[in-house]
Structure 1
Amino acid sequence: MMPNQAIQLPWLQPGWFEQASTWIHAALGHQGINVTGTIEQPQVHSTVLRVPSTAGDIYFKATSPTLAHEPALTQALWRWRPDCMPPVLAVDLARGWMLMPNLGVTLRSLVQSTRDLGHWERVLRIYAEVQIDLTSRVNELLELGVLDRRLTMLPDYYEQLLTDTDALLIGHPKGLSMEAYQRLRQFAPQFRGMCEQLAGYGIPETLHHEDFHDANIFVRNNHYTLADWGESGVAHPFCTLLVTSRVIAWRLELEENAPELVRLYDVYLEPWTCFASLESLNAALKLAYRVGMVCRALTWRRVTAGEGEPFKSEYADAVPGWLQEFLNYDMTPTV
């Protein structure tokens, strides 16, 4: 697909809801589950439907064609780590559909202050252990079609991204200035060096959830479920903390280097001490934090290029925004 060639999203097509409803009834019926009420589509652009049934509320999700790996990945993760991954009741891989039971309430609804960070401590330990567990499944993950954000690939992707001047909005009020664009081009050799330096710490690449925040983590009966794996790939594991730490800081009004966040970084890094010292892990985290900004720009480019209006225009500034942050990182508080 060409970067500026938008896909017409399936759920905006006439008849899509009826087709999805027919599949939902059939898929649940095969498992002896009956739909007991009206299937609800909360928003016209929503890809999640709520299905009342004899087994309680069930949720249908249709994935974007640009992130079509999500159903197969979610199914595999549930098979590999049923202790913390969403159970998948049914999938249609060709159409990117899946059904899941009610996973509980979001972590966001539970963590309302810094006094509640015990939930995050437990979740980050679980997530680190999952990542370590899946270091042996990198090839399987890539075969499932997840985003390839390996350090050996990122420098070339970075240079390719800079050729997409439409996505960078050069000279646009919400885009990059020509001066910033030139700086990014000149930085290409240094970015390659950053990736090589990060690889040098010897921390294995693995599954990386690029949108790992409190609205994608569910809690039920003190059990945590890690969900919404569309924006995920194989990458340096520590890149995850870019979004995670920022969302925690934003939600709880913390500085990026606040003691509460430093404590959470330590909790996350502790399982990784089997690969390197805590000092080396912290150095790698700081580097991965910045490399993760390029990963975010790459993912936003993929998503906005593949989806139609109004989504594309609404989030057009995401790609240049992350690249600008990448340029400015040395002038902002560090992790």
Structure 2
Amino acid sequence: MTSPTSETSETTSLWSSAEWLSDAANWLDEQLTAAGIKRVGEVTQPRLKPWGTVLRADTERGAVWLKAPAPETVFEVPLYRLLASVVPQWVLDPIGVDVDRGWVLLPDGGPTLRERLGEPAGWSEALVSVLPQYGQLQLDLMPHAGDLLAAGVTDMRAAVMPARLDEALELTGRYAAGSGSEIAKEHHAWVSGQRAEFAARCADLPDRASLDHNDLHTNNVLGDPAGTVKFYDWGDSVLAHPFSSMLVALGSLARWLEVDPDDDLVRRPRDAYLEVFGNPADLLAELDLACWIGKVARALVWDRALRREPGEFAGAPLETLASLRMNSWLGAA
């Protein structure tokens, strides 16, 4: 067993201990044996971070990956089991799941969309095919909101978002006060003054709810966009209005391509996604509103991810909240 050097923390100390590594490797082997798969290589630990660790092993059928998320995102383990049951065509099928230990063993899914395509020039066309598949996944999951909550997915539906804004302001208030930055304090004060407006807009958002990946970009999509792809890395996901997923999916595309959200390179995949739900022209305002409200969920997801090691991204939750000043996030045709 080999392991890399990593930041010191309670979780990383546990995950790098000989006892934990031995137990995890034994469990990995047990799951492979039960599935009729033979391991042919050493178990290694290529990733060790405060928010999770990953073990890797080569088998006669290719590489396998054991993922152990930190407590803040351990819901990803039972979530994989649910997704494999409801939307198996769009997710990796776990070889083994141990909810009590917080471990999931996954097959290798091949290169990511970003690795497959290389330069961003082809990403827009690929997402024209990929995003409708993601939209169908969300549609199929809509009847399973209760199951998603039972798996541990955080509730970020419109009805609870005013209270979520208060949570976000509490944590960003501590950051602003301790940062010594007048800009941070001004940002926090401005968002604090938007509570009533935010609550009113939440009440205006149509009542749809599904799984929001919350970090959907080309590095979290596996497979050939000409066929059926797989979506993975669900540790940031929440239960929210489905359209809020486009906050990252289309926002990151616009940034990578250095174009405006109204550019055809963003509009085409946007409309392809919306067509799964209805007439895109009728849904643009709902998309904008869902993404605007989704910034609060995104801020809280940032905090969840950074809680064990804020580092250089410590200001990301407040920066995300401050972007509420952009009233129209993705634009309209």
TM-score, scaled relative to structure 1:
0.87
1:259 to 241, 256, 264: 264
Letter paired with 2:11:
L
Identity in percent? 29
Q: Tell me the residue number matched to 2:4.
A: none
In the alignment, does 2:222 pair up with 1:218? Answer: yes
SS of corresponding position for 2:303? helix
* Distance verdict in 2 for CA 1:143–1:176, change over 3 Å: farther
CA distance in 1, matches of 2:90, 2:280: 26
Q: Deviations over 1:167-201 (max 9, x none)?
A: 533362678633322221211011001111113xx
SS of corresponding position for 1:179? helix
CA RMSD of aligned residues (A): 2.3
Deviation at 1:116, TM superposition (A): 5.1
Q: Note the 1:137-176 alignment, pairs <5 A.
A: 137-165=144-172, 167-170=174-177, 172=179
SS of corresponding position for 1:229? coil
* Distance verdict in 2 for CA 1:175–1:25, change over 3 Å: farther
Aligned length: 318
In the alignment, does 2:35 pair up with 1:38? Answer: no
Deviation at 1:166, TM superposition (A): 5.8
Moved more, 163-172 or 264-273: 163-172
Deviation at 1:28, TM superposition (A): 1.3
Letter paired with 1:54:
E
* Distance verdict in 2 for CA 1:263–1:35, change over 3 Å: same
Deviation at 1:239, TM superposition (A): 0.6
SS of corresponding position for 1:260? helix
Cα contact 1:167–1:301 (8 A) shared by 2: no
TM-score, scaled relative to structure 2:
0.87
* Distance verdict in 2 for CA 1:244–1:208, change over 3 Å: same
Q: Tell me the residue number matched to 1:93.
A: 99
Larger helix proportion of the pair: 2
Higher relative contact order (CA 8 A, sep 6+): 1
* Distance verdict in 2 for CA 1:125–1:333, change over 3 Å: closer
In the alignment, does 2:124 pair up with 1:117? Answer: yes
Q: Tell me the residue number matched to 1:322.
A: 320
Cα contact 2:124–2:253 (8 A) shared by 1: no
Deviation at 1:250, TM superposition (A): 3.0
CA distance in 2, matches of 1:269, 1:18: 47
Which 5+ residue runs of structure 2 have no aligned equivalent? 1-8
CA distance in 2, matches of 1:250, 1:272: 25
In the alignment, does 2:290 pair up with 1:293? Answer: no
CA distance in 1, matches of 2:258, 2:201: 30
Cα contact 2:172–2:317 (8 A) shared by 1: no
* Distance verdict in 2 for CA 1:116–1:325, change over 3 Å: closer
Q: Deviations over 1:195-221 (max 9, x none)?
A: 11113xx5x211111011111110059
